[in-house]
Structure 1
């Protein structure tokens, strides 16, 4: 068992919390990093803020691997992440696993710049590129809020299909990439077992919760206008562009990555909806 700790950045978030919990359950030492150093069962809490370099040294102390969740909503995360990664390497971190997106290639916008830099910083690395999270419809997300409030999903994705993936499955792959004898040293596109349109998602949610859910099709311009009140113009353009890409078929794919790395098939959206929304009945 590895004596050094695994630093999990974003340990209170959707994938970070699950990754930390799975690492602890497997007997690994975990430093759970968040802005408030929130305690997590079995993990050592540590304060960490991407925008406060004074928190970096304590976070990486005693860690030899790190799970990286980029700062949310930042269109240029490399500006804060790359300096941290250099400091982490100098402090003894040898393996880094970065959470990116299936919609962002190496060298692409935002976290794609960090993706490109990672192999030059660490000999052992992986970039997880999951498709859109199933938890976007069940947890803390604009879609989930809209579903709970008005029973609607608002997108400019049209009838485009997506290989939505369970955050538990992302975490399972993250644990493998962090703790396996050999790091993947590549990027990994993660999907669920099937592709679904947002209309399909609405049907499944209606069946599982017993509450009617509809997918309302927005134009690209309407989506940009809706997001404009919530985030920077650059990030609005990025997100609205992703919906347009879905409509054009960019996310209509499935991969075998989850099963190949974890030894079990990925969870379906219906399974996740039943698991996380049973109280909605």
Structure 2
């Protein structure tokens, strides 16, 4: 058995939409060992992550973790349990210095993420970087905003040295993950955002911001980062860009509240999450996203403003094949 003494970063959600590109950046640009959570432990780590750099295999540790099973929470900090599935490597001297936290979509009434934060504090994790959103301010009724408030309280009480809350706008990837079926089958994107303008952003920009928040000197880290793409677009604008990219007309289908709730409920999402999504669309319609886009960095309130360089048109052109009609037949195979 060998001994590891490297500092480590814990990634809760390290194989997800933002966590996977962040993991690749950490592997390629730092020397940290990465503890990456998965319901299947080391078996849940994507194979291509091990190809990021020459020593990735030695630096990636898959850790069994499930938001629905609190008995797995201690796995992230227990040396004995953490050693399971890591080729008999002793992890006793491995120090978790920072944690990237993507909270579960379980609603603001679930305190699972707060329990995990408490465990991190108990084990002297000095820095926590939380993924939240632009639409909800500290303390409001979303899990990210509630956690932001809690992290602020912990720092004020001297229980944590540094925290950062990443507040990205809507993801470019939403057009693939949420709207793709509607685009393929109905030539439309559907929302309640009305004429609200949004600073859609790439996950690469979010991952790069997370990297800096996790590894920069503590004094250089802001308490919140407003992260957007370079431009504001309404859903009508996005439909027009899709029309130009795909060579067929795509329209913005404006949903009523009843239509919206029915649509996402029928898709199998729990009511509390559907209500949360509806609130997000309504806030976007009211101009919340545009107001956040127009903010500037403010050291007095520990706020940093980040604008990515990739445009929405760039993203849609790079992923044009995802929205072509041939994909319907391909996906049916």
Residue aligned with 1:246, SS? helix
In structure 2, distance between residues paired with 1:69 and 1:268: 25
Q: 1:102 aligns with which of 120, 131, 134?
A: 134
Q: 2:311 aligns with which of 264, 268, 273?
A: 268
| Partner residue, 1:116 | 149
CA drift of 1:279 comes to 5.9
| Partner residue, 1:158 | 194
Residue pairs, 1:201-280, within 5 angstroms: 201-229=238-266, 230-253=268-291, 254=293, 265-278=308-321, 280=323
5+ long unaligned stretches in structure 1 = none
| Partner residue, 1:15 | 18
Change (3 A) 1:78 1:64: farther
In structure 1, distance between residues paired with 2:236 and 2:290: 14
In structure 1, distance between residues paired with 2:166 and 2:225: 5
Aligned pairs, how many? 275
Normalising to structure 1: TM-score of the pair? Answer: 0.89
5+ long unaligned stretches in structure 2 = 51-55, 79-93, 298-302, 325-333
Deviates more, 1:56-65 or 1:158-167: 56-65
Change (3 A) 1:78 1:190: farther
1:187 aligns with 2:220: no
Q: Deviations over 1:94-136 (max 9, x none)?
A: 1100000101110011221111101315221100111111110
Q: Deviations over 1:33-78 (max 9, x none)?
A: 1222322322322221122222222323532111100112x11265
Residue aligned with 2:289, SS? coil
Normalising to structure 2: TM-score of the pair? Answer: 0.76
In structure 1, distance between residues paired with 2:70 and 2:161: 24
Task: Say whether the 8 Å CA contact 1:156–1:218 is kept in structure 2.
Answer: yes
Residue aligned with 1:251, SS? helix
Task: Say whether the 8 Å CA contact 2:201–2:229 is kept in structure 1.
Answer: yes
Task: Say whether the 8 Å CA contact 1:7–1:60 is kept in structure 2.
Answer: no
Residue aligned with 1:87, SS? helix
Larger radius of gyration: 2
Residue pairs, 1:58-97, within 5 angstroms: 58-60=75-77, 62=94, 63-72=96-105, 74-76=106-108, 78-97=110-129
